[in-house]
Structure 1
Amino acid sequence: MTGQPENLKVIKEISRPDILFSVAVLNETEAFVGSSDSKIYRLNTQDDKAEPLELAGHTSYVTGLELVGDQLVSAAYDGKLKWWDLENQVEIRSVDAHAKWIRRMALSHNGAQLATVSDDMVCRVWDAVTGSCLHELKGHQAVTPNHFPSMLYCCAFSRDDRLLATADRVGHVVVWDLQTGKEVKSIEAPDMYTWDPKARIHSIGGVRSLAFSPDGKQLVIGGMGHVGNIDHLGGKSLIEIFAWEKGERLHQLADDSYKGLTERLAFDPSGKWFIAAGGDNSGFVKCVDTNTGKSILDSKASTHLHDIRLDDQHGTLVTAGHGKLSLWQL
């Protein structure tokens, strides 16, 4: 990689009137963003005056975007997956993927498979080109121990695409074998779940991000620590690093400086460090040493961040969040 984590800094910000829930980087000058207005926009990241190109087709928040060859795939709260022809900017396929909100979509590293997770508590694995369903993975309970609806928030492929991890509201994480569709291991991260039995009789938190180390030996889990007032994202940002095969937690990083959800995680190809991003009313980006579990760099972001894209070849990071798309240099 051309950059160093301790050098991370913002080099450009593009203001938006909406909330950006997802981003996919096409090249050095263009990116797609998924919006709270149910649309997808193709943005010129170098020319602020260029008019965004609009792709309409969903009916709720666009929570996932992935580039598959010469096509773009989008996922949204309407439960649909859509494939878009990039040359002609038209929808070419729509799949009723889930019965409830799609919270996250992930693309395998070889570009052959997509995984989606939803509030219907099912993870489905799709052929990224044809849209056919390859696996239906059910390993998460529909209700919490306190008898409230749970949510299935995130998923992540291992670097060799043999494994997929999924995680839910109460901190239950499942690692799946993608050849067989069977559960390999389960891990618990209960510190990421807060239940208020008195004032609100409600819960908050959950595992919001996952990432396998490049060698597949460690699994990083991101969320938020205990919350005193569940009406606000007032808990410390929380990251836990597991030797997942042993079920052993190696490190826990609860940040005193930055509060809110750890929404996204991305490893450097070397595996020596990774980036975490998220926030509460404001946002954060941090670089963490994998071996020690300590921060290399903590950087405040001007807005809550929902998605990130790390370009390890050019040493750049793109972040998307409330009202802003930001470009960072390492």
Structure 2
Amino acid sequence: MHKKTRLALALVPFITAGCTGPDLKPEPPLKKLSNAGDSGGSALAINRNSDRLASGGWSGKLKVWNLPKGETQKIWQAHAESVAGIAYGRDDGYLVSAGYEGDIAVWQPDGQPIKRWASGSPITAFVMAPSRTEVVTGHKDGWVRHWRVRDNALLAARQIQRDEIRSLGVSPDGEEIAVADEDAHLSLWQPQKNLLKHFARSPSYSRSLAFSPDGKNVYGSGWFNVYRWNRADGKLDVLPTDHRGIINSIHFTPSGDLASISRQTDSSVLVLDPQDGKTLAAYEKHDLCGGKLAVSADGCFLATNSDDATVRVWALQNGCAMPKRELIGSR
């Protein structure tokens, strides 16, 4: 288990009361799903068809539900350590996961194993490229590696920083990878040309990165604030938000808004205006600190997980309503 995970588990009794955040009249979830017995969620993915939701946690398990009903499809032990990331591949034909122990695994949508390979060092960040045929892994030793899933070929690798890589993002054109490390550096790497540029350090490191849909800006998440770097000149803007803790995960919606979830003194789920960080919509807080979030490609669903061992799902659009809310499974 990742040493930071052990620390988080040890701190849960002390931080629970503080993980509440501001009261912003939040919308309740349409579904609350059990998280395979994990003490916390560390990865989430919705497939392109918006009919499957996958979640990974600290125990290394993966769990898949169908949407919109929320019925459990499969639970399995995918990794020996916490899940660092998951994503559905091209045409939803497979699911890729990465674990802190350093393995990358490819699965059939029903959880049957396809293949697995060792990346070379503990994986601390993971992202799927826009082609949905390649993945990028960030590592504890500061290396970033670019892989092709079909034949697990290592396409490019570079040690970007000496500190642990905390988050990754890939530009919409697939040409550039954004890399944030534990010392609050942001770097942009073009693997095909092996070009690297470093941008201004942010006030705190970014636990999550996302390129704007037009590719002009890179957004990062830190304590209370969202960071925005101009991709062309590296100019940094700090956008205050209504979060009252670390913003742990951000993801652009198809409409161009920024979904976000926070932890450590907060558990708020907010949709933010990417221009100024103001809250556009608020969703019910988790009972414990927030984990990761995912937004479906069609804009129908927002999903989040948390230290409270649940996954919550909302319908973001009126035309995507799901059945009456109910608790599925138990902790």
Give the TM-score normalised by the residue count of structure 1.
0.79
The corresponding residue for 2:215 is 216
**Counterpart Cα distance in 2 of 1:283 and 1:66:** 24
Could you tell me which of 71, 77, 80 is aligned with 2:103? 80
The one-letter amino acid of 2:85's match is G
The one-letter amino acid of 1:172's match is H
Report runs of 4+ in structure 1 exceeding 6 Å deviation: none
The corresponding residue for 1:41 is 63
* CA displacement, residues 82-106 of structure 1 (integer Å, 9 cap, x when unaligned): 111235x322211111322x12211
Aligned-residue offset at 1:140: 0.8
* CA displacement, residues 69-127 of structure 1 (integer Å, 9 cap, x when unaligned): 3111110111110111235x322211111322x12211111212200111121110101
* CA displacement, residues 207-239 of structure 1 (integer Å, 9 cap, x when unaligned): 211111111111111112xxxxxxxxxxxx221
Q: In the alignment, is residue 317 of structure 1 matched against residue 302 of structure 2?
A: yes
Aligned-residue offset at 1:278: 2.3
Secondary structure of the residue aligned to 2:116 is: strand
Contact 2:66/2:73 (CA < 8 Å) preserved in 1? yes
**Counterpart Cα distance in 2 of 1:310 and 1:122:** 28
The corresponding residue for 1:138 is 159
Contact 2:262/2:268 (CA < 8 Å) preserved in 1? yes
Secondary structure of the residue aligned to 2:268 is: strand
Aligned-residue offset at 1:51: 5.0
Contact 2:46/2:296 (CA < 8 Å) preserved in 1? no
More helix by share: 2
What is the Cα-based RMSD across aligned positions, in Å? 2.3
Q: Between the two proteins, what is the percent identity of the paired residues?
A: 21
Tell me: CA distance 1:317–1:82, structure 2 relative to 1, closer, same or farther (3 Å).
same
Contact 1:170/1:190 (CA < 8 Å) preserved in 2? no
Contact 1:68/1:129 (CA < 8 Å) preserved in 2? no
Aligned-residue offset at 1:7: 9.5
Could you tell me which of 275, 286, 292 is aligned with 1:291? 275
Aligned-residue offset at 1:317: 0.7
The one-letter amino acid of 2:215's match is G
Superposed counterparts of 1:298-309, under 5 Å: 298-302=282-286, 303-309=288-294
* CA displacement, residues 17-43 of structure 1 (integer Å, 9 cap, x when unaligned): 312211222454432211222221222
* CA displacement, residues 246-295 of structure 1 (integer Å, 9 cap, x when unaligned): 12123x2334x533222222123454x21122222541222222233433
The one-letter amino acid of 2:29's match is V
Tell me: CA distance 1:42–1:290, structure 2 relative to 1, closer, same or farther (3 Å).
closer
Contact 2:239/2:276 (CA < 8 Å) preserved in 1? no
Give the TM-score normalised by the residue count of structure 2.
0.78
Tell me: CA distance 1:178–1:134, structure 2 relative to 1, closer, same or farther (3 Å).
same
**Counterpart Cα distance in 1 of 2:225 and 2:62:** 30
**Counterpart Cα distance in 1 of 2:188 and 2:258:** 20
Superposed counterparts of 1:59-98, under 5 Å: 59-69=80-90, 70-87=93-110, 89-98=111-120
Tell me: CA distance 1:95–1:264, structure 2 relative to 1, closer, same or farther (3 Å).
same
Could you tell me which of 315, 319, 324 is aligned with 1:329? 315
**Counterpart Cα distance in 1 of 2:215 and 2:269:** 23
Q: In the alignment, is residue 30 of structure 1 matched against residue 15 of structure 2?
A: no
Aligned-residue offset at 1:312: 4.3
The corresponding residue for 2:79 is 58
The corresponding residue for 2:133 is 112
**Counterpart Cα distance in 2 of 1:243 and 1:294:** 19
Contact 2:179/2:186 (CA < 8 Å) preserved in 1? yes
Q: In the alignment, is residue 244 of structure 1 matched against residue 231 of structure 2?
A: yes
The one-letter amino acid of 1:238's match is N
The corresponding residue for 1:188 is 200
Superposed counterparts of 1:259-298, under 5 Å: 259-271=244-256, 273-280=257-264, 282-298=266-282
For structure 1, which runs of at least 5 residues remain unmatched after alignment?
A: 1-5, 142-149, 193-205, 225-236
Superposed counterparts of 1:151-166, under 5 Å: 151-166=164-179
- How many equivalent residue pairs? 285
Secondary structure of the residue aligned to 2:203 is: helix
The one-letter amino acid of 2:271's match is C
Aligned-residue offset at 1:138: 1.7
Aligned-residue offset at 1:46: 4.9
Secondary structure of the residue aligned to 2:30 is: strand
**Counterpart Cα distance in 1 of 2:133 and 2:27:** 31
For structure 2, which runs of at least 5 residues remain unmatched after alignment?
A: 1-24, 317-331
Tell me: CA distance 1:314–1:211, structure 2 relative to 1, closer, same or farther (3 Å).
closer
* CA displacement, residues 178-229 of structure 1 (integer Å, 9 cap, x when unaligned): 321221x31133411xxxxxxxxxxxxx2211111111111111112xxxxx
Q: In the alignment, is residue 129 of structure 1 matched against residue 115 of structure 2?
A: no
Tell me: CA distance 1:177–1:61, structure 2 relative to 1, closer, same or farther (3 Å).
same
The one-letter amino acid of 1:288's match is L
